[in-house]
Amino acid sequence: MDSCGCDSEALALQRQQTRVLLVILAINAVMFVVEAGAGIAAGSSALLADSLDMLGDALVYGFSLYVVARSARWKAGSALIKGLIQLGFGLSVLALTAYKLVHPALPVAEAITGVGLLALAANTVCAALLVRRRHDDLNMNSVWLCSRNDLIGNLAVIAAGVAVAVTQSPWPDLVVGFGIALLFLRTSFGVIGRSVLELKHADS
């Protein structure tokens, strides 16, 4: 009976995690399209960097959905892939920012601030859905860290839009793009490190 009870609890937890991940996957996929389009139209490194974050998160949540009902080893492997994806996006944003430094142009401040506010609202919903699930396992914890980083990045994008409007300079946008890249890299190293440890424990 105890075994059946544990199985029922595990299935209920998996269903809850799946519902949450499906909702935030859809939100991030839509916001990637919105931010990428706005970033290109506005000439904003910060928006483009944040859109890549949304795309990376959508891929991350896809992996997380795949391993919800799988073993701890699968979840550690999924978290490792997420960390590598974040690392790749961090390096991509650094390259984009370097290009903008060589070819500077004043972005559209109103677009940066407006779309940044929209992204903040979307990620606040995601974070609210994830906050209760963040201690379930490594898989959900890595998803929560992605969502937390998104909120920080959104606030930075909004600040960049305001600063560009006030200073009439592209530098705030470039600085925020660079900062988002560093946030990607820092989080990726942490997730990769924990994942490798989990995989080693799974093998032992």
**186-85-174 Cα angle (round to 5):** 55
Fold held by 2-203:
Alpha-lytic protease prodomain-like (1.20.1510)
Instruction: Kindly list the domain boundaries of the chain, sorted by start residue.
Output: 2-203
The candidate with the shortest Cα–Cα distance to 187, out of 69, 71, 93, 115, is: 93
Give, for all 204 residues of the chain, the pLDDT tens digit.
455 555 677 677 677 778 888 888 899 899 999 999 998 899 888 888 888 778 877 877 777 677 665 666 776 777 787 788 778 878 887 888 888 888 888 999 999 999 999 999 999 998 888 888 777 666 677 777 777 878 888 999 999 999 999 999 999 999 988 888 887 788 788 778 878 887 777 665
Write the DSSP assignment of 65-133 as a string of letters.
HHHTTS-HHHHHHHHHHHHHHHHHHHHHHHHHHHHHHHS-----HHHHHHHHHHHHHHHHHHHHHHGGG
pTM for this prediction: 0.75
**Alpha-carbon distance 55 to 179, whole Å?**
18
Helix (H) or strand (E) holding 135: none
CA 135 from chain center: how many Å?
18
Query: How far, in Å, CA of 176 to CA of 154, rounded?
Result: 10
Q: How far, in Å, CA of 112 to CA of 71, rounded? A: 42
